[in-house]
Amino acid sequence: MITAAIVGLGRWGRTLVGAVQGKSERLRFTHAVVRREAPHREFAAAHGLGLSDDYDAVLADGGIDAIVIATPHSLHCRQVTAAAQAGKHVFCEKPLSLAATEAASAVAACERAGVVLGIGTDKRFHPAVGELIRLVKTGELGQPIHLEAHFSNEVAGSFSPWRFAPAESPAGGLTGTGIHMLDAMIALAGSVRRVQAQLLAHKPPPDPLDSLSVLIEFASGASGLLAAVRSTPMFARLHAFARHASAEMRGPTELVMRRSGAEPQCQRFAPVDTVRANLEAFADAAAGIAPYPIPPAQIMAVTAACEAVVNALAIDGRSSL
């Protein structure tokens, strides 16, 4: 059993705790680090958490194996680096950073310390996404020629105010939802070479009525389309096209395979708590049981692609890595 401290008890920090506390035999939270203790005392008591506003003191606690970070994006890298330097395995909510150089520095700190780095792109653990990745990696689908991905939902209305700050979320739905699909696309086709991007906002901020569209060129030669809307019912789709076949994820548990000359075949899978699955994969890696399935190179590639999208939006819609 890995013992962990959660840093940040906002909406998503509480979701992370609730996914495993009292349910998992691999990871449990013992402490929480917050700026102000009073708003979190009831939640902490219900989940058996010791509260502290002193991150350094928690890092110095020898009874804590790992740190789980659920704070604003701009704080991630310095908190990850501090955890690594303290010898703690560290799981960070996505994105690891909004700057590729910062992400590389945090990853290097973890590698120097010999600690596991986990990342909060939990949608990678949806069974339909996992099967699509398997089909590509085993060669059963064929070499991807083109990828299409869309992930939208309405949860932006429940976000903390910091998520609407341009410095924290500079590309609409990219850091909230789009990054999940970008992560899966990079798992399928590798790193991104170039992007073109468009963000259309229909009301002044902080109203999240906007749409993001990204045209992607992967270093492998594959092309891609990514979309995210922050004010529409939840919708997720990921489609990989190869020469004689394509595979389409329609939501978390459905995959449609199409092959030349054959009728489409639909597979359905049992639902999975992806937040718990991700945290338990991180715990297994920290315990030396199995490698963490999202390697640092992919975490950095996602950060670099996100930065390219932001840069493209800030200039003329085009940005090269």
Domain boundary among 92, 120, 148: 120
Q: Is the Cβ–Cβ distance between 100 and 72 less than 8 Å?
A: no
Q: How far apart are alpha carbons 40 and 18 in whole angstroms? A: 14
Q: Is the Cβ–Cβ distance between 126 and 252 less than 8 Å?
A: yes
- Which CATH number belongs to the domain containing residue 310 in this structure? 3.30.360.10
Longest alpha-carbon distance in the chain = 64
- Which CATH number belongs to the domain containing residue 14 in this structure? 3.40.50.720
Q: Is the Cβ–Cβ distance between 151 and 321 less than 8 Å?
A: no
The predicted pLDDT at position 164 comes to: 76
* Pair 179, 68 in one domain: no
Residue 316 has φ and ψ, to the nearest 5°, of: -135, 20
Q: Could you report the average pLDDT of every consecutive run of 10 residues in the chain (321 residues)?
A: 97 96 97 94 97 97 98 96 98 96 97 98 97 98 97 74 80 93 98 96 87 97 97 95 97 97 97 98 98 97 97 77 73
Q: How far apart are alpha carbons 250 and 264 in whole angstroms? A: 13
Split into its structural domains, the chain has a count of 2
Q: How far apart are alpha carbons 217 and 223 in whole angstroms? A: 5
Domain boundary among 77, 96, 120: 120
Domain boundary among 97, 120, 143: 120
* Pair 116, 148 in one domain: no
Domain range holding 60?
A: 2-120
* Pair 98, 155 in one domain: no
- Run of H or E residues at 151: strand 146-152
